[in-house]
């Protein structure tokens, strides 16, 4: 997963990574919000979901302590990070501003 993940985040297109877990209530609340974000801005962002239980080394690498944690990458660099649930308009604004 690690080498594949690096090739995903090294994209010209901003990549929003959602670190989540199946058992996490707020993560479940964030999922439909991310779908709405994708519907609104389409190919302007790639959204990738990473299950922290199945990808513990990756979660550790990015020091994900709480979930959901979203990290926005641009050309492989972390440009924004937030834990918790945000509303669609907030996420859209952040992606467009980076």
- Token pair in block for residue 46: 């790639």
DSSP for residue 12: S
Task: State the catalytic residues.
Answer: 24, 27
Nearest-angstrom CA–CA distance, 87 and 34: 9
Listed in order, strand segments (DSSP E) in 1-98 are: 15-20, 46-51, 69-74, 77-83
Between strands 46-51 and 15-20, the pairing is parallel
């Amino acid at each position: 997963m690690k080498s594949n993940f690096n090739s995903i985040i090294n994209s010209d297109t901003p990549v929003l990574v959602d670190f989540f877990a199946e058992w996490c209530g707020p993560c479940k609340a964030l999922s439909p919000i991310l779908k709405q974000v994708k519907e609104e801005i389409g190919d302007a962002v790639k959204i990738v979901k990473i299950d922290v239980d199945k990808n513990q080394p990756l979660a550790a690498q990015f020091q994900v302590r709480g979930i959901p944690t979203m990290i926005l990458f641009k050309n492989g660099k972390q440009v924004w990070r937030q834990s918790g649930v945000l509303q669609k308009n907030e996420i859209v604004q952040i992606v467009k501003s980076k």
